[in-house]
Structure 1
């Protein structure tokens, strides 16, 4: 064996390890399995519970039924027993297991007897095994008891053995997921003796139980079923252990079953038998139903029966498929080849003699064409008498009266037309008029009208046109033959026309449904907002199902109603609990489900590739969806989930883009700070080091230059820190500009004097109008703005003079700073007031932090003004930054000045 293949085989199975990890996060389920009541399951549980209690384990009794047995009741002494929940059902008070109390207590181990029990009242779950599953999911170890007769896949076998139907059943998957299955066994003879002694049931019912159920043959058969099922479970556990520990063994190639069902009563037996076969083979199995692609899927009752069979298959752990096609055998073989099936399970009934001559059964046709795949035939003992009766009932469906009326009218019209024609000309093929009547009846009213029209036409043609006329007597033998041929031809033509009509109706219905889904898909594809998606989806669901619909999305750790149609649809507390369950457990909840079935709504999770994105609820009210409604709803929910997920991803993408932009600003800020702090600090450090090392040995002029450099760089550093603080104040909205009277001319002169101190080599020209009015503002902020603009012009204005103009323009005062440098490109002109936007000098260096103009814009707007950049300014070059401030009331200004 190659070394790499040996390494792969020596590794543990990933799926097995994932299953083991999942078990570690959950509680452990231990099932005490028995062949029948009375073998001692509850006694064994309580005995072990007392032993664990003595060892200090936190174990409580959730519910235990002693059935009046003193020896069992004695074992409860000293154990903590949770109080039961009182429920009123059918006018009587019953005690039920309190699931919420058990979850609140949260013990290490809890004993919950009778796994197959049906809960009474309006509990969260209709079955006790669902309560136990919730306890296990909460991390609590659960001990429970089960009789083999209550397993879903064995209920029909037990009914045949004991002659008593099993009402309370548990899905096989519950037992398959159990961590431990402990068989509690007792020989049948000893069990019967215990029953006679009154240790199993009360004495008055013991003899009746012995006579009906507790017979030696029944108990022996049930014991064998329990032993076999326990052995299968032990074998599964051994295989899991080998996979988890990468232990090689003689594992056989995996079996895979294809189970074929239809809308009949035999399909339930086929599914149960296939479940037992798959369990014994430890095989995966797929349940498939095929419907004709060119016609009706079947009546509503048959489709409902098929849906019930599919739900039973899913309950027993099967995958389910629905396939459309005309060649059933070919579709089954295609699926078997695609799924690598090794065996096919199909039901068959004994056909009546005439049918066997003219029609081959599906199992026979499958056996002829299959190759390399085993076939299991499941037979039915009952006589096929119901099928013909069902067909006779279908011959006269609803609306038959209308069909008969149309057939009679068409036949009468053909007769009248034929009699009118015979007044003028004698035709030998007048019967073609009746054939036309048959075809018209089939097209307008279906198969029943076609058959009726064929019969009416034969009678009318015989009475009015065949000698002797006016009687139903036929004189010539060839006329009798012609009548029978006409009847056969009319019936065949009518049936074909009727079939074409039904196919056309089906095609129109499918086209309508497809068009509706296409329009809905187009609507969703053009919608990026999650709210619009939800409203489009909820209206589409309401239109398709004609029921109230609601869509809920996760919000703040809970679930919230986002859209409903009609808009006044309200959800009760029970409805919201069912919606939360569907979101958290990723399974349907509410009406017609195993969780909170008292809710009138059924809630289904919206599953996307990234998980559950929401929950859809629709009003069920104990009226199941038809098959076409179910398919349409599934398609709508799938598209809605994808659209909601797309909207979420789009929103996250925008958030991520904003975050990236923020990161970009942060990086730019750090880069700017590091550069602008490093340069003056380096200059200051160098100057201080030179002064310390050389001291008096340095010429006085050199010392003055170094001290001047320290002073200039300190001022530069101070301006930089001031800009950062100003920018922080602007972003925080903490700029509180004063509203004092400001003389713009004084502020301009002060700013120019300050700039000349810092830029002594820069020529600054001013032009201030003599009649310049006062403005309302903050002289300090306005002076800082002017200095920032002069600083910017000094950096980028070249060697030409910088000009400051102040004038009045109507009701505004205009201030502008103009340089004659290279100017700003049109692309950069839109961003000059953005934070950290920097233009390089001709040598490529970036001399500024990109905060000056941004701070200027914030200060100007805080004072109620506007700022604008223009380029080119003069002679196709330069940049002009202009500011506009509203003029203050002149009289009030003169009064306050005076």
Structure 2
């Protein structure tokens, strides 16, 4: 018995190769390939077996039934033995049923073709055909060509994933290296001040009047607070990153919380010019007041630090499903290329690294706290005109 199949045109081969080389997901691409090759190469099932991490076993990574009454789940078992044989012998294996009298669906013709890289075999593609005719040499050649294309496609995508992971790893290492450098600098400064002024006060060869002593002790106190804040930020960022931070949710009034934060900020920074704009009654929401206060304190502190002498405007307004809060300053702004990075852990705006003290943890902590409230936080900025931090908190 012979098959009446369409001849394979060069344009078809080119089209199949293009699918393999442009696909971003090899399994989706294989679905398309199977549909395209059936007019030239009849099979009822196809299964792809890939080596596991130990490279001692083959696992089914893809299976598809293409017709004639069989399901892919039931037929995967047909390909297990031939896949092992094909990978063991490192060559194409063709299995032909011995008894032609057996019912067609119980006597499959099996074609196993290894998937291979330059130096090794990493899997097998098995084509299953129930009933005659057997696979012809021309069809086997075509199947080997297609498996070669599939091999290249899978390897390319695996390499792309490896490169992406490597780039992410390099980026993480660079961020960590920058953080260690920043942290060393940030720790060195307050420790240096504390050590220097303490040593000065303890000198026995001179005496200091009470006003000078108070000035020195005040500097030591401020630097100790700065050191404590840095350590607290490190601990907070670690807990929030791992999801281990405990939040105490309760019903709260956002307007009252913001007024408290602003009052405290004015006490800490007497020259701070800050305005709160709430033009409508706000509903209560569920939140952790201590953590939200931490966010608002940090945003005001950032504006005061990075946009000194400018007005800070806080606008709060109700939306259909929550409350929006905009923190706006009129400072130098943030370059567009850096806007998406400002919430990354350890990230600091390039221009500020050498000019302003900071660990690159503040906005990361803000983001994690807002996300823990099922909210969103983002930034917009215009160079020379200022920055706005947008927060949305849902009403639950």
RCO greater where, 1 or 2, for CA within 8 Å and sep 6 or more?
A: 2
Q: How far did 1:869 drift?
A: 3.4
Give yes or no for contact 1:551–1:564 (8 Å, CA) kept in 2: no
Query: Which among 598, 613, 621 is matched to residue 122 of structure 2?
Result: 613
Tell whether the 8 Å contact from 2:311 to 2:329 is kept in structure 1 after alignment: yes
TM-superposed CA distance for 1:706, in Å, is 2.5
Alignment partners' CA distance in 1, 2:48 and 2:318: 61
How is 1:497-536 mapped onto 2 (pairs within 5 angstroms)? 512-536=8-32
Q: CA deviation at 1:787?
A: 1.0
Separation (CA, whole Å) in 2 of partners of 1:636 and 1:811: 53
Q: Distance in 2 between matches of 1:801 and 1:540?
A: 65
Judge conservation of contact 1:745–1:768 (CA < 8 Å) in 2: no
Shift of 1:615: 0.6
Structure 2 counterparts to residues 89-488 of structure 1, below 5 A = none
Residue of structure 1 aligned with 2:52, choices 555, 572, 581:
555
Map Cα deviations across residues 263-305 of structure 1 (whole Å, 9 max, x no partner).
xxxxxxxxxxxxxxxxxxxxxxxxxxxxxxxxxxxxx9xxxxx
1:860 aligns with 2:370: yes
The residue that corresponds to 2:161 in the other structure is: 651
Deviation at 1:711, TM superposition (A): 1.3
CA separation of 1:804 and 1:696: change in aligned 2, threshold 3 A: farther
Aligned to 2:333: 823
On the 8 A contact 2:47/2:79 being kept in 1, the answer is: no
Q: What residue number does 1:564 align with?
A: 64
Normalising by the residue count of structure 1, what TM-score does the alignment of the two structures yield? 0.37
2: CA distance between counterparts of 1:637 and 1:745? 65
Structure 1 pair 626–672 and aligned structure 2 pair: CA distance change class (3 A)? same
Q: CA 1:882–1:658 in 2, change beyond 3 Å: closer, same or farther?
A: closer
Return the offset for 1:878. 2.9
State the TM-score, normalized to the length of structure 2.
0.78
State the 1:842 CA deviation. Answer: 7.3
Aligned equivalent of 1:591, options 95, 117, 121: 95
Q: Assess, with a 3 A threshold, how the Cα gap between structure 1 residues 882 and 626 changes in structure 2: closer, same or farther.
A: closer
Give the direction of change, closer, same or farther, for the CA distance of 1:690–1:774 in structure 2 (3 Å limit). Answer: farther
* Cα distance in structure 2, aligned partners of 1:625 and 1:581: 18
2:110 maps to which residue?
601
Q: Is the 8 A contact 2:201 2:213 kept in 1?
A: yes
Does the CA contact (< 8 Å) of 1:552 and 1:614 recur in 2?
Answer: yes
Using a 3 Å threshold, how does the CA distance of structure 1 residues 676 and 834 change in structure 2: closer, same or farther?
same
For 1:602 and 1:813, how far apart are their aligned partners in 2?
Answer: 62
State the SS of the aligned residue for 1:545. coil
**Which of the numbers 382, 388, 392 marks the counterpart of 1:880?**
388
What is the aligned partner in structure 1 of residue 103 from structure 2? none
Work out the CA distance in 2 between the residues paired with 1:546 and 1:886: 56
Q: Give the secondary-structure state (helix, strand or coil) at the position aligned to 1:697.
A: coil
Q: Note closer, same or farther for the CA distance 1:632–1:866 as it changes in structure 2 (3 Å cut).
A: closer
Q: SS at the partner of 1:871?
A: strand
Report the equivalent of 2:147: 637
User: Which residue of structure 2 aligns with residue 115 of structure 1?
Assistant: none
Hey, what's the Cα distance between the residues in 1 that align with 2:108 and 2:15?
Answer: 32
- CA contact 1:839–1:846 (8 Å) conserved in 2: no
Q: Counterpart in 2 of 1:708?
A: 218
Please give the alpha-carbon distance, in whole angstroms, between the structure 2 residues aligned to 1:534 and 1:770: 58
Unaligned runs of 5+ in 1: 1-299, 301-508, 889-898
Residue 885 (structure 1) shift: 4.3
Whether the 8 Å contact between 2:175 and 2:347 is mirrored in structure 1 is no
1:581 maps to which residue? 85
Listed one character per residue, the Cα deviations across residues 153-211 of structure 1 (whole Å, up to 9, x for unaligned) are xxxxxxxxxxxxxxxxxxxxxxxxxxxxxxxxxxxxxxxxxxxxxxxxxxxxxxxxxxx
CA distance in 1, matches of 2:205, 2:268: 27
SS in 2 for 1:741: strand
Distance 2:200 2:88 in 1: 72
Q: Is the 8 A contact 1:811 1:886 kept in 2?
A: yes
Task: Provide Cα deviations, 1:753-782, integer angstroms capped at 9, x if missing partner.
Answer: 44345445x323344659754522222122
Task: Quickly say closer, same or farther: Cα 1:817–1:604, change in 2 above 3 A.
Answer: closer
Does structure 1 retain, via aligned residues, the 8 Å contact 2:116–2:148? yes
SS class of match (1:544): coil
CA distance in 2, matches of 1:856, 1:769: 22
- State the shift of 1:784 in Å: 1.0
Q: Which residue of 2 aligns with 1:837?
A: 347
Residues 539 and 565, structure 1, Cα contact 8 Å, conserved in 2? no
Cα distance 1:696–1:877, how it changes in 2: closer, same or farther (>3 A)? same
Q: Is the 8 Å Cα contact of residues 601 and 618 (structure 1) preserved in structure 2?
A: yes
Instruction: Please give the alpha-carbon distance, in whole angstroms, between the structure 2 residues aligned to 1:602 and 1:865.
Output: 54
Quote how far apart the aligned CAs of 1:803 are: 4.2
| Residue 678 of structure 1, CA deviation | 2.3
CA distance 1:522–1:829, shift in 2 (3 Å): closer
Q: Deviations over 1:24-55 (max 9, x none)?
A: xxxxxxxxxxxxxxxxxxxxxxxxxxxxxxxx
How far the C-alpha of 1:600 sits from its partner, in A, is 4.5
Q: Which structure would you say has the larger Rg? A: 1
SS in 2 for 1:833: coil
